[in-house]
């Protein structure tokens, strides 16, 4: 027999199935088998071999999704062996394997004085996730990007037929637009190319404003290039972190600025998760409200601080004693003045009825209008997010709070992220994502009619 005619399958590293939990333990996956491909040929073999690697196939990186979008009863494809990093300073790009985290990218680029165009808080998220799912940072400037996937200029994936697709923004911009919000339903990504840019230096200042009546986005920005808000609906306040872009060549942060930045991060880390996880929730919320706004006002009074934009990326280590959980909604700026009193009313009503209230402030990101992805959270106008947060990850009242909050946000034309919004359902997704969702469903059905990548979570939505 001519051995040259024998097909040699690649050997894919595989493990027996076991229960996998996401970062904070709020959702679990029960795969029958775990596959760990190390390159595109091994990944293609996994997709094609339906007997060994049963459906549904769902990719997983750092398991930092906030809902069950990653779960499977079939095959979990772990991307950790896809870990190469290649920087091209001439082309201003970085190309990485799907299992590379945003922290690893940041740490590789930092000595070169460059960064990703978007530097989100969740540094543990992997490239394979952020290129086709949702995560964000406040947009820098009125036309700046706020979604990490919008900075993706090329990606390689294996589709439901086991074929390799090599797609770029230049070769097929519309296909890229679909893939940037495909949530792993059109294929499993194994390589991603991001645009990079020179490092951005920011000056940070703080202000405390009433939440109701809602300040306009201009009042919150006060001339800043970007802003992050910490909304306190029970105290009727929003602490605004204003970020002013400094000119190129301004020089790096001083030692005093770095110390103040570290103080800010400790405030957010301890105030947001450490103490609320250990102290009575209602007591700490009131104390936190007073302490945090006072301390941040002091930071502003002594000149604020400067920091690189990449410093906003945080290492959310999974081995910790204090967990947080959050949900995502983006609200049109044009509806913000109506939305904030509705949120306050909902929070107070829910507390009166159940005794439950959030133990942590809600985060408010300013997202510029962005049509780079089909299911973008800001396709038609600028948006302000409302990420409600709590430490009681698996409390039934937290789940019920989220389900009711979903309806409040949807009433104000809110937009979800399907990997960060808690407890979405079919009617809610159809109502909020509208024609774009119906178009995506047609594409998904055409490209994966047998549901190779369709798990129970997304099956309930489609």
Query: Domain locations in the chain?
Result: 3-78, 85-199, 201-419
- Mean of the pLDDT values across residues 316-333? 83
Choice among 112-116, 210-214, 320-324 with the minimum mean pLDDT: 320-324
Q: Which CATH architecture has domain 201-419?
A: 2-Layer Sandwich (3.30)
DSSP-assigned beta bridge partners for residue 326: 389
Split at pLDDT 50, 70, 90, the class of 3 is very low
What pLDDT score was predicted for residue 178?
98
Residue with the larger pLDDT of the pair 200 and 298: 200
pLDDT of residue 36: 97
**CATH class belonging to 85-199:** alpha beta
* pLDDT surpasses 70 at 426: yes
- Whether 24 shows a pLDDT value over 90: the answer reads no
Residue 409, pLDDT > 90, answer yes
Note the pTM of the prediction, 2 decimals: 0.91
Query: 1: pLDDT confidence band, cut at 50, 70 and 90?
Result: very low
| Percent with pLDDT over 90 in the chain | 74
Tell me what pLDDT residue 226 has: 95
Query: Which of 16-20, 89-93, 311-315 is predicted with the least confidence, judged by mean pLDDT?
Result: 311-315
pLDDT at 136 over 90: yes
Question: What integer pLDDT is reported at residue 4 of this predicted model?
Answer: 33
Reported CATH class of domain 3-78: alpha beta
pLDDT for 254: 86
Mean pLDDT of 89-110: 98
Is pLDDT above 90 for 40? yes
pLDDT greater than 60 at residue 43: yes
**Model confidence band, residue 294 (pLDDT cutoffs 50, 70, 90):** confident
* pLDDT single digits (tens) 202-244: 999 989 899 999 999 999 999 999 999 999 899 899 989 999 9
Averaged confidence pLDDT in the chain: 90
One fold for 3-78 and 201-419:
no
The predicted model gives 69-87 an average pLDDT of 97
Digit-coded pLDDT (tens) for 141-193: 888 899 999 999 999 999 999 999 999 999 999 999 999 999 999 999 999 99
Q: Which residue has better confidence, 262 or 453?
A: 453
Of residues 434 and 2, more confidence is placed in 434
Return the percentage of the chain with pLDDT > 70, whole number. Answer: 90
- Identify whether the C-beta of residue 97 lies closer than 8 Å to the C-beta of residue 83: yes
Binned at pLDDT 50, 70 and 90, residue 8 comes out as: very low
């Amino acid at each position: 027999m001519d051995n040259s005619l024998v097909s040699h399958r690649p050997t894919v590293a595989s493990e027996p199935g076991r229960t996998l939990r996401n970062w904070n333990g709020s959702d679990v996956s029960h795969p029958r088998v775990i596959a760990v491909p190390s390159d595109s040929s091994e990944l293609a073999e996994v997709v094609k071999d339906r007997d060994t690697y049963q459906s549904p196939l769902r990719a997983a990186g750092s398991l930092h999704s906030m809902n069950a979008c990653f779960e499977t009863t079939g095959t979990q494809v772990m991307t950790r062996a896809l870990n190469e990093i290649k920087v091209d300073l001439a082309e201003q790009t970085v190309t990485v394997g799907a299992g590379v985290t945003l922290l690893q990218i940041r740490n590789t680029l930092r000595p070169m004085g460059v960064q990703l165009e978007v530097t989100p808080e969740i540094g543990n998220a992997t490239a394979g996730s952020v290129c086709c799912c949702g995560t964000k940072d406040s947009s820098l400037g009125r036309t700046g990007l706020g979604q990490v996937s919008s900075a993706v200029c090329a990606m390689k994936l294996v589709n439901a037929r086991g074929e390799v697709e090599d797609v770029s923004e230049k070769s097929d911009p519309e296909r890229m637009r679909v893939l940037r919000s495909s949530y792993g339903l059109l294929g499993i990504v194994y390589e991603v190319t991001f645009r990079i840019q020179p490092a951005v230096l920011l000056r940070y200042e703080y202000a405390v404003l009433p939440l109701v009546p809602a300040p306009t986005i201009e009042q919150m920005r006060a001339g800043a290039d970007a802003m992050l808000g910490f909304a306190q609906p029970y105290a009727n306040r929003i602490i605004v972190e204003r970020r002013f872009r400094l000119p190129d060549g301004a020089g790096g942060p001083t030692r005093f600025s770095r110390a103040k930045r570290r103080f800010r991060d400790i405030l957010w880390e301890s105030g947001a998760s450490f103490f609320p996880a250990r102290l009575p929730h209602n007591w700490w919320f009131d104390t936190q409200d007073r302490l945090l706004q006072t301390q941040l006002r002091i930071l502003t009074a002594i000149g604020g601080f400067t920091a690189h934009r990449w410093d906003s990326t945080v290492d959310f280590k999974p081995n910790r004693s204090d967990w947080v959980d959050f949900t995502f909604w983006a609200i049109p700026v044009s509806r913000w003045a109506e939305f904030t009193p509705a949120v306050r009313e909902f929070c107070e009503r829910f507390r009166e009825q159940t005794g439950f209230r959030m133990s942590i402030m809600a985060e408010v990101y300013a997202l510029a209008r962005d049509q780079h992805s089909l299911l973008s959270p800001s396709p038609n106008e600028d948006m302000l997010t409302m990420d409600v947060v709590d430490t009681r990850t698996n409390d039934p009242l937290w789940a019920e709070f989220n389900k009711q909050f979903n309806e409040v946000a949807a009433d104000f034309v809110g937009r979800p992220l399907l990997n960060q919004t808690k407890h979405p359902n079919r009617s809610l997704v159809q109502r909020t994502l509208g024609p774009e969702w119906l178009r995506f469903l047609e594409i998904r059905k055409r490209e994966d009619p047998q549901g190779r990548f369709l798990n129970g979570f997304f099956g309930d939505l489609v």
